[in-house]
Structure 1
Amino acid sequence: MYRLIGTAASLASQDVGSMVDRAKRSAIVYAIAAVLLLTAYAFVMVVVYQLLADAVGSGLDAALLIAGATALVAILALIVMALVNRRQKRMAARRNAARRMQLLALASVAPSLMRSKPLLITAALGALAYFALNNSDDGDD
């Protein structure tokens, strides 16, 4: 819920029309670049197929080699992505644990601050609210 308030305030302070125009331009340029890159990839695969067919002697063997290499690269990419995701989850868990510890430490100090000056009470309550909002604002969970 707090994320929506920040997003709404950010949108209200910007020119939505120019933002939409920029997004449309970016989408068109990315689409053209994607089509051109896919075309280049297809031509490279045709050349690799021809070279392998000449070297191996059979078109079927060349196609199987290309398919196997492509599958191997895809599997490696999936493994790398799984490792990166697992590392990111662990880091998010550590950050959340550190935030909880900070919040707990602040909460344990709060009763002693309640007996002291009003400025310290205000600062402690502000810090408590900050850590509570920061803890619930993390989208990595």
Structure 2
Amino acid sequence: MLAENILKHLKKEGYKFTNRRKLMVEILVANQDKFISAKTLCKEVQQMYPNVSWDTIYRTLALLLENGVIEKREFGEKGSKFRLVCHHHHHHHVVCLSCGKTKILDKCPMTFIDTVFDDFQVVEHRFELYGYCNACI
């Protein structure tokens, strides 16, 4: 997904974007294969805009979450991290707890689990494996 496509979509929905917010979208696009924290995102934005406020960071993240552009996951003591929503086919992720890098897991465990429930209808599920990639071991 390209930053310009995201910005066009949001502009069409009536949202304005400052250069700081545009940069945030560009950073998320550049890191679309991993989850990143708001702190990391803020540090990267501050390289170009040293006075960017935390309010700007969090308001923009909330706007992107609300519009289905990004997704949020909790990483225990490391807090929340964000990444662009995958618009691929149905899949799941393997996620590195250290660097946030993700890989797609094409096999869905629901094909095995679904046969176990004869008195329960699953309407939504999420499956992710967390560990450490080879670079972080």
Question: Structure 2 length as normaliser, TM-score?
Answer: 0.20
Higher fraction of helix: 1
Question: Structure 1 length as normaliser, TM-score?
Answer: 0.20
Q: State the structure with more CA Rg.
A: 1
Higher fraction of strand: 2
